[in-house]
Structure 1
Amino acid sequence: QRAAELRGEQMRLHTTLIGLLLAGHTAAVTETLGGSGLTHVTVYRLSGIDLPTAHEVLWRAVRPSLAPYADAVTLMGRRDGELVVAELHHGGDDGRILRLVSRLSERHHLLAGLAGPLPLAEMPTAHSDAAAARHSATPDRRVVPADAVGASRLTPLLRTAPYARWAESVLRPLSQAHQHLLLVWLRTGSKPRAAAALGLSAGTVRARIRDLSRLLGADL
């Protein structure tokens, strides 16, 4: 029983650390982890009916440790009905967590999206991109990376310079926050799903998209 209580406390700590990263408190988290120089993050977001069991299974498989100065640290916690896995590392991972998530998704009928590696300070972006990718997952393709969503697969077929100049001119009136909202909305394909990916209410997203319409002079 004591072991189960300890595991529960550790899981709550993981969820708290993920929340701090999403709130932008990167320094506080890295200090908690011993200031180990972890610079990047890969984020997975999983959903499905059997999520509690999947969480326990993944926890036992990963045996996550918050030991200071580790080369990589895996955080996992349930937030808003999802399992969020954040792998903190030095810019590249060995694929172990991806393999575990893939097997877990098949075995427990989960859908998953992943994003990264991105700089640790961009955890909120990775988090929302992973949600956008998860919305594209299907039973035939249970784990979808963010860079496989939307038009990114067309990029190698196009001469990018003219489009980049055009996009820069069109998006110039937008702040980084506006551009990120636009990206998530386009990737998820709907305002309610964009709201879920960003952790905002649907009304807030609708209001911000109205702001985008005004700034871009376009009917969105």
Structure 2
Amino acid sequence: MTTSRAGPPMPARPVKVTRYQVVRRLTRAAAHSDAQLIAEAAVLAEGSAVLADLTGGVVCSTPDTAGPEGVRAAAHPRLHPHLTIRKMTGGVLVIRPGPASPVSRIDLIARTCVDLLRMRARVRRAEDTRHAEQRLHTAVLHLLLSGQPRLATDVLGTAATHATVFRLAGPQMHAAYQTHWRAAQPSVTSKAPRMLVCMEGTEVAVVALHGLGHDRHVARPYVARIVERHQLVGGVSDPLPLDMVATAWAEAGNARHGATPGCLASATFLGSHGLLRAVPADRLTRWSAAVLTPLTREQHRTLEAYLRSGSAQAAAAVLDVSEGTVRARLRWIGTALAADLDNPTVQAQLLLALRAPVPSPQVSTSVRLVPDPPLPTDLLGRDDAHHWATALLRPLDKPLRIALRCWLQHRGRTAPAASELGLSRSTLTDWLSKCGRALSLDLSSATVRAELHLAAETIATPEDTPARLPRRGGRTYRGQQP
């Protein structure tokens, strides 16, 4: 038996109540709870009201002493012809009218209460469904972050291959979370926008699922409006394969740290200086297709994992294969592309090709990558490339530019770069921090490093070498001044 619960104190009995007043009072009571609705029904009926479940328990009754009679009447309605009994899905409503209550009013009370109870049940089911879907979104996000994309796509029933991650934080993140559910109507069904929305710790996470080029920016307008409305700080990653969602997660987090309230910051922070804006999209698409056409899907994924993570060991963890397998695949890729995958300029060019904004069409010819010129002329002419690189690196003075170039040539490794520059590692780290602040860029991003490398090599002169680094004396440099 369910413990019965008394409703609120019964108000004074009305002398005369119209049909409109009956419906209005019951509706207002239903907005609070089932118990309030049953209490109001008892007042309007000038008798008692009981809501019983199908197992013979009292859900709520007014007064409490009416509960047992209501349960008996629900079980054997023919034995209680003096009571008004209405069955519904999941329960039975029993009303004992007062001696002076007209039959028409009792019938109206019963019909209105049943309709309101059904409506409240539908709302509860909708809330339960929403909560279940929210839990499913969170579970799928954790699968993606733990490197199990196949299991995640099986759960979702989607053919998506890539994801774009948004991470939002701020004082109003809970309101933003609810707003996103109402505005974007995220769902894991195949016919709805493929978008995961989760509360993850102290932030809201949105993961847009898409193909290589289809619908990759579907979520961005929604997220940008919500970030602005609730004055959140938000970061968005580059689109990455599903098996690299952990990398996208880190990129979005790094981007968020550099964002201002009400703004959504990109992981690259390059804005109008980015090559995806500087190079016409159709030109980049054709070049990317010509570069990558010899690769199979598996080789494509292996190459991107290697370039994004920075090492064969890290790529092996992403792809869930051995390091030896990754190295073997990279040798085959280098042969297929006729390219030196150990050359940092070639690596930067390949990462740019992998970031083509639309699916690459099939082409019959391929393009061989070479370090010179750093930015292929198929994308930008030499003058345009020099103008782009100069504008991007203009905030850096000569020492910082030389140090940054050397560090990028060593693929972001501080120790060998510091040794070649004749600097201590702490000094080089400090200089790199100054570069990041001057450029407003996150140097931990593989995308940022690739574009900076292409820019630095494009405008490099014979004077931009470690041997020509201006010496200021003191303890800043190792070795002797030239």
Sort the TM-score into its range (normalised by shorter chain): 0.5 to 0.7
Aligned pairs for 1:1-220 (under 5 A) are 1-34=124-157, 36-68=158-190, 73-92=194-213, 93=215, 95-139=217-261, 142-148=263-269, 156-157=388-389, 167-169=408-410, 171=412
The 2-side partners of 1:169 and 1:128 are apart by 22
Distance across 1 between alignment mates of 2:192 and 2:210: 6
Q: Which has the larger radius of gyration?
A: 2
- RCO greater where, 1 or 2, for CA within 8 Å and sep 6 or more? 1
Shift of 1:169: 3.5
d(CA) in 2 for partners of 1:128, 1:166: 22
Structure-1 separation of matches of 2:249 and 2:411: 26
How many angstroms apart in 1 are the aligned matches of 2:410 and 2:178? 48
CA displacement, residues 99-147 of structure 1 (integer Å, 9 cap, x when unaligned) = 11111111111110001211111101110100110111113x6110001
Task: Note the C-alpha offset of 1:167.
Answer: 3.1
% identity of equivalent residues: 34
Other structure's SS at 2:160 match:
coil
Q: 1:138 to 1:27 in 2, by over 3 A?
A: same
Unpaired runs of 5+ residues, structure 2, are 1-123, 276-384, 393-401, 416-428, 443-482
Distance 1:168 1:47, change over 3 A: same
Distance 1:110 1:169, change over 3 A: closer
Q: 1:50·1:108 contact (CA, 8 Å) conserved in 2? A: yes
Q: Which letter does structure 1 place at the counterpart of 2:177? A: H
Q: Find the counterpart in structure 2 of residue 217 from structure 1.
A: none
Q: Is the 8 A contact 2:197 2:206 kept in 1?
A: yes
Alpha carbons of structure 1 residues 123 and 164: separation in structure 2 relative to 1, 3 Å: farther
Helix, strand or coil at the partner of 1:16? helix
Counterpart CA distance in 1 for 2:247 and 2:216 is: 22
Letter of the 1:45 counterpart? R
Deviation for aligned residue 1:46: 0.4
SS at match of 2:268: helix
Structure with a larger share of its residues in strand: 1
Query: CA RMSD for the aligned pairs?
Result: 3.6
Residues 1:172 and 1:108: Cα distance change in structure 2 (over 3 Å): closer
The answer to which of 71-80 and 114-123 deviates more is: 71-80
- Please give the alpha-carbon distance, in whole angstroms, between the structure 2 residues aligned to 1:46 and 1:59: 14
Aligned to 1:200: none
Q: Write the distance in 1 (CA, Å) between the matches of 2:226 and 2:196.
A: 16
SS of equivalent to 2:247: helix
Distance in 1 (alpha carbons) for counterparts of 2:168 and 2:228: 12
Contact 2:208/2:216 (8 A) holds in 1: no
* Structure 2 Cα separation of the partners of residues 148 and 124 of structure 1: 19
Deviation of the 1:79 alpha carbon: 0.8
- Aligned CA distance change for structure 1 residues 49 and 173 (closer, same or farther; 3 Å): closer
The 1-side partners of 2:232 and 2:265 are apart by 12
Counterpart Cα distance in 2 of 1:83 and 1:188: 27
CA distance in 2, matches of 1:173, 1:144: 27
Whichever residue aligns with residue 79 of structure 1, its letter is: E
- Note the C-alpha offset of 1:188: 9.5
> How many matched pairs?
176
Tell me, what secondary structure is at the counterpart of 2:171?
A: coil
- Identify unmatched segments of 5+ residues in structure 1: 175-181, 195-220
2-structure distance, mates of 1:25, 1:84:
18
Instruction: Determine if contact 1:112/1:133 at 8 Å carries over to the other structure.
Output: yes
TM-score (norm: length of structure 1): 0.67
Counterpart of 1:65 in 2: which secondary structure?
coil
TM-score (normalizing by structure 2): 0.32
Amino acid paired to 2:156:
L
